[in-house]
Amino acid sequence: MTAPVQSEDQPAAAAKPKGHGRGRRIAASVCLVLSVLLAPLAIVTTWTKQELLNTDRYVATVAPLADNRGLTDYLAGQVTDKLMTGLNVTAVARDSLPKRAQFLAAPLTGGIQTLVTTTAEKALASPQFKTIWTDANRAAHNQVKKALTGEGNTVTLVNGKVTLDLTPIIQAVIKRLDARGITIFDKIPIVHTAIRLQLFDAQGLAAARQATKILVVMRYVLAGVAIILALVGFWLSGHRRRSAVHWGFGLAGCLGVVAAILLIGSNVAASSISKNGMPQDTALEVIKQMTYYLRLSLRAGMTAGLLIALVAVLLGPGRAAVKVRATLSAAFDRAPEGHGGGVITRFVAANRQAIRAVGVVLALALLVAGLTPGAIGVLLAALALAVYLAIVEILARAGGAGSGSGEDSTPTPESGSVGSA
């Protein structure tokens, strides 16, 4: 008695144990979900490490704040308050006026205050302030870096805190006032004119140093684990195209949630900072600038996720996807095909898959080298990769590869299901 022959139409997966297929699907789903959840953590830790331990990156981040009108207006108010409270201008005015003109002391004080504010605003709008701002931030960040990494022998602290010292801007304003004949502020001790913004509280220095060490390691671990889990998940998946759709949308959605949390947190932090005197709108602008590269990275990740999902959808059996593939195939069919071509076209035809892979790897390498390419960078890289792949396809066809070295050039619903079981 002969054994029954399995029909060719019967799926091969039916011959596999049911439990094995289910376990593999669960493992694939777990790996892909974990990779999506780890992606935001990898982005945040990378950004934090760059901002905390890379002085040039930090200075580049905060440099545009020197042109922020809200911040310069706030600092102008701080300069005016420091000078007007550091010296009893009204008393000085009375001493310099005759008794009959004592009533002019108050208006004169008001005029001097207006002049101080105007002078401060002009000083803060000058290139000199940009230099002071950059130098002060560089010096302060170096102190933060030393405090967190233990580099150097000493860390300059003010009341146990690392601060951003903007006192030189007051000295610049005093010099400008001197040039206009207002020399009464020269007598104020410099200690009474200090403007310092707190950057780091050294009370938890030991814990912060330990956290920094962990952060440096986790930056690479999280990114590596996320990539490995994604690769393993796709390898285990029986429906890789469908998994790519879900993974891409999941990545974009997860990063979108983090971006929303960042937006809410920024508003809460700005509200808290405003209680110390800085206008809430100005505080929010400062926070947005400080988190600029983080927001850029999140947008780039969301764009990449959506692009991956879109490509996977276009490779699927949907009617619109099939139509798009048919249009592209018709466009490629217009290229001369199968006539041997030159050395280059024959080489491309013989190594088309490898050349495609090289292009994808180079595109990914360029994005990684950019650290924070942004959404536009991701789109441009995707566009450049698409053009590259199109050129490879045209050259391969001209070199005699035809429609893909044994591949069916006619797009069908089944052809879009990449890696389906």
Q: In the prediction, which pLDDT does 418 show? A: 37
- Hey, is 173 helix, strand or coil? helix
Q: What is the largest CA-CA distance in the chain?
A: 132
Domain end, chosen from 267, 291, 314, is at: 314
Pair 310, 177 in one domain: no
In a domain, 223, yes or no: no
The region of weakest confidence among 103-112, 131-140, 152-161, 320-329 is 152-161
Pair 186, 286 in one domain: no
Pair 79, 141 in one domain: yes
CA distance 407 to 396: 13
Pair 247, 368 in one domain: no
Domain end, chosen from 261, 288, 314, is at: 314
Looking at residues 232-253, what average pLDDT do you find?
90
By the 8 A CB rule, do 55 and 145 touch?
Answer: yes
Looking at residues 170-199, what average pLDDT do you find?
80
Q: What is the DSSP letter of 199?
A: E
The region of weakest confidence among 147-151, 314-318, 344-348 is 147-151
In a domain, 116, yes or no: yes
- Ramachandran angles phi, psi of 339, nearest 5°: -105, 15
Q: What is the DSSP letter of 239?
A: B
Distances (CA, A) of 19 to 12, 16, 27, 150, 239: 15, 9, 12, 54, 17
Rounded to 5°, angle at Cα 303 from 216 and 297? 25
351-379 burial code (b ≥16 CB/10 A, e <16): bbeebbeebeeebeeebeeeebbbbebbe
Pair 91, 180 in one domain: yes
Q: Which pLDDT band, with edges at 50, 70 and 90, does 228 fall under?
A: very high
In a domain, 162, yes or no: yes
pLDDT digits (tens, 9 = 90+) for 285-313: 988 988 888 888 888 888 888 888 888 88
In a domain, 62, yes or no: yes
Pair 66, 92 in one domain: yes
CA distance 136 to 162: 12
Pair 106, 197 in one domain: yes
Looking at residues 99-112, what average pLDDT do you find?
80
In a domain, 5, yes or no: no
pLDDT digits (tens, 9 = 90+) for 372-398: 555 676 777 777 777 777 777 777 766
99 or 233: which leads in pLDDT: 233
By the 8 A CB rule, do 104 and 90 touch?
Answer: no
Pair 130, 184 in one domain: yes
- Hey, is 161 helix, strand or coil? strand
Torsion, CA 23, CA 27, CA 30, CA 34, rounded to 10: 170
Pair 188, 57 in one domain: yes
Q: Which pLDDT band, with edges at 50, 70 and 90, does 3 fall under?
A: very low
By the 8 A CB rule, do 321 and 313 touch?
Answer: yes
In a domain, 225, yes or no: no
CB atoms within 10 A of CB 252: 20
Kindly state the percentage of the chain with pLDDT values over 70: 75
Pair 350, 394 in one domain: yes
By the 8 A CB rule, do 24 and 236 touch?
Answer: yes
pLDDT digits (tens, 9 = 90+) for 188-197: 877 667 777 7
Task: Identify any residues that bridge with 164 across adjacent strands, giving them in sequence order.
Answer: 197
The region of weakest confidence among 25-34, 125-134, 408-417 is 408-417
> Is pLDDT above 60 for 407?
no
In a domain, 282, yes or no: yes
By the 8 A CB rule, do 248 and 309 touch?
Answer: yes
Round the average pLDDT of the chain to a whole number and report it: 77
- Helix 280-290 vs helix 69-86: angle between axes, to the nearest 10 degrees? 120
Nearest to 256, CA basis, from 310, 305, 311: 305
Q: Determine the structural domain holding residue 142 and report its residue range.
A: 52-208
Task: Identify any residues that bridge with 239 across adjacent strands, giving them in sequence order.
Answer: 420
Q: What is the DSSP letter of 3?
A: P
Domain end, chosen from 186, 208, 230, is at: 208
402 or 28: which leads in pLDDT: 28
Tally of domains within the chain: 3
Task: Identify any residues that bridge with 387 across adjacent strands, giving them in sequence order.
Answer: none
Pair 405, 367 in one domain: yes
In a domain, 135, yes or no: yes
Pair 256, 368 in one domain: no
